[in-house]
Structure formats: C-alpha cells, structure tokens
Amino acid sequence: TRSRDVGTLLRGSAAARSRGSARARTALVGLQAAVSFVLLAASLAFVRSFHKATTVDLGFTLGELVSVQIATGALHIPRARERELYRELHRQVLVLPGVASASLGYTNPWWNNRTENVFSVTRDSMPAVPGWGSPLFDAAGPDYQRTMGVVLREGRWISPDDRAGSEPVLVVNEALAAFYWPGDTQVLGKCLRIGADTMPCRTIVGVTRNQRVTGALDDPPLPAYFLPEAQADEHALSPSLFVRPSGSATPLLPVLRRAAQTIVPGLPYADVARVRDHLEPMLAPWRLGAIAFTALGVVAMVVALAGLYAVLAFLVAERRHEFAVRAAIGGSHRQIARPVTRQALLTVFGGLAAGLVVLLVASPRLEGFLFQVTVLDPLAIVGVASTVIALAWRAALGPARVAARQDPMEALRSD
C-alpha cells in the first residue's frame, strides 16, 4: 500500500545515516557553542568592568586634566626656589591659548600622595587612618577647585585672602569630617592643628565631596584636607601644576613641556601628562580582558556557526529522500524545515546549558578580576544566550531552506 511504501522509504533513508558520526559531530558543535557562550559572557563582564572603572565617581573631574612636574631634584634647586619656579610657570601657563584654568597642587592623583598628622584642640587624641596613619594632605590655590572640578559641600573654598600671615584655615573632605567627628553634622568652625600639637590652630572653612586619588578605584575614599598654598610652606613638599584645557589636551602637551623647560634652564625633562594616564595601569587588565575574551569569543562563535551549518547541511544531504517524500505527500515548507531548525536549537541549547555550568564553576575565580560586576548577571547571561541562539537560528536557515525546497521527483529518482 501507499502508506507502507512511504514508511519503507522513510525507514530506508533513516537507516542509511551514520548515527554515531552524526551524534559526534553534533556533540562537537554543542561544545563549540558552550565555549563561545562562556567566552562571550566573560568578554561582556570585562567590557562592563572597564566601563564602570572609567566612569567611577572620583569626586573630581578627570576629563583632559593635565599635570606638569619639573624634575628639579637633579639640579639640586632649594625647595623655596622650586616653589618660586612653579609659581612663575603657573603665571605663564595661565595666559597660554587653550588653557581654561590652572592651579598648583601638592598631591598628584595616583602618582604621589602625602599625609600629615592632625591634632584637635577639643580631643585628647585623634584615631589613626587604617593603612595610612594620617589623612591625605594637599596644598592648593584659589583656582584649584575650578581646575580640578572639586565639589564643595558646604562652606567656602580657599580664597586669595588666605595668605601667609592671615588667619590659618583649611578645607576638609566628607571622609575626614565623618572619621574624626562621627555623627556631627557641623564641622565648619572646628579647629585642627597640622603637623604637631604646637602648631597654630586652623579653622575649617569648607567641606568637599570625597575624592579618590590613591589606591584601587573601589577602595573607600580616604580622609583628606587642603591647606591654602600660600600658608603651607612649612608642610608642602614639591608641587605640581594642574592645567584644565579648554578643549583637547593633545596640542597643549608640547606647549606646556616647552614652557616648563624655559622656566628652568638645563632642565633634563618635564613630566607633562594627562592625569587619566596615571589610571592606565589599573584599567589595563579590564581593557586587555575585554579585548582578549571578545576576540576569542567571536572566533569561537564563528567556528561554532560554521560547524553548525556543516552539520545541518550534512543532515539535509543524508535525509534528502525523507524530505522529498514529505514534500511529495503534501508537507509544507515549514513542516519540512522544522527538523533542521529543531536540531540546530537542540544543539545550541545543550551547549548553552553546558556553558552555564562552566560559568557557575568558574565565576568565583573570574570575579576576582572584575570591577563591581558579576559574570552571572541575569541580564548579561540572557543577552549573550539570546545572541548565540539568534546567530544559530540564522545559520540554520540556509540548510532548512535547502531541505524545504527539495524536488521530490529528482530526489527520489536519484535513489
């Protein structure tokens, strides 16, 4: 009968396939899908880490900020003369085209940081800052706040009136206020002695947001304070000049370098660089991880898709008689193509499941290299899995169309 003949043809076609080799090829493609899923998920985690690290709130505006340091140590220039040279350089830089603002400072973020003891007239002792002992110290001029983009929470910033001989003052950050006076919301007007308990008492005139200028990007901000640069000669060491360009810093860098070398004849070199360059050693692992895992993930995905396409094409070639018979008995294109797309999705789903298990096992190790993200973020996992599924579906469309468009007479005639 017709139904018996059809059954015989279908069974004969199925028996002709090498089930063992087909399963091995399918398993290999599933493994490739698992590897690509793991690599792409890891690459996305590193990309997100890099993005978070480059957009972390530092408490000041990084942008195109430039620092200038002149190597006066080799010339054995006295400290007082060195400060005079920096002040002269500051005056010359202010009138250069492309300079929005400039200021002297004594702490160069992630480059050199200094601490200084503090004493309170209202307390017998001040607790030590863990790992540092004393708060971070900086000396700054009136333009420092504008140049660095420091945000003032209350009170005022250092002014031109804060000169040598005037009332000694200082500005503290929120971390110092909270560390030394926990629970006290009013620190303006309080008094601190800097360096020794015999020094003049300095009145707190302002409180700034916390700044991250040292350590890892996710370390808690350290207590810090600012002295007026004009009142800090007995505390400050070698300064730096900070310059905020009105546009890109690139054309300004050589101009600043020449200006520094003009100020100090015989200067061996001047260190002129974007402040963000000091962050590069910290950002490099996340950038490298993002590039490496993305490249490997894309290669693995291409190999997996090529393998999937080849396996499905082989499947269609082996089952062409079956597909021809289905077409001959009235099967629609969708019905004929369905086994091909189903095989593709089953293979990929198996690979994704295996890849997810690998991620679960590897995530504790991977997350030690990430910044404020997890490799198992649900949205990220769904996004990567959806991408893999969509690409696999697209790769399956070619063989599925071939299966659906089999000429029944030609396929049966070639048997």
* pLDDT at 303 (0 to 100): 80
Q: Which of 360, 214, 326 is nearest to 281 (CA)?
A: 214
Lowest mean pLDDT among 119-128, 187-196, 237-246: 119-128
**What confidence tens digit (pLDDT) does each residue in 118-148 have?**
666 555 455 666 665 677 888 888 899 999 9
> Given pLDDT bands bounded at 50, 70 and 90, which one contains residue 78?
confident
Checking if the pLDDT of 310 tops 80, the result is no
Q: How far apart are alpha carbons 80 and 317 in whole angstroms?
A: 87
Q: How far apart are alpha carbons 201 and 167 in whole angstroms?
A: 9
- Geometric angle at alpha carbon 41, from 35 and 42, rounded to 5°: 90
Checking if the pLDDT of 15 tops 50, the result is no
Alpha helices (H) in 167-243, listed in sequence order: 174-180
Query: Dihedral (C-alpha) 88, 94, 95, 99: value to the nearest 10 degrees?
Result: 140
Which whole number is the average pLDDT over 165-178? 88
Q: Return the number of other C-beta atoms located less than 10 Å from residue 249's C-beta.
A: 21
Distances (CA, A) of 300 to 297, 303, 306: 5, 5, 10
- Residue extents of the structural domains in the chain: 2-55+283-413, 66-281
Q: Which of 208, 93, 87 is nearest to 151 (CA)?
A: 208
Residue 56 backbone zone (phi > 0: left; psi -120 to 50: alpha; other: beta): beta
Lowest mean pLDDT among 119-128, 189-198, 237-246: 119-128
**What confidence tens digit (pLDDT) does each residue in 46-71 have?**
888 888 888 888 888 888 899 888 87
**What confidence tens digit (pLDDT) does each residue in 352-410 have?**
888 899 888 988 888 888 888 888 888 888 988 888 888 877 777 666 666 556 555 65
Residue 149 backbone zone (phi > 0: left; psi -120 to 50: alpha; other: beta): left
Is the C-alpha dihedral spanning 189, 194, 197, 198 positive or negative?
A: negative
**What confidence tens digit (pLDDT) does each residue in 172-191 have?**
999 888 888 887 778 898 88
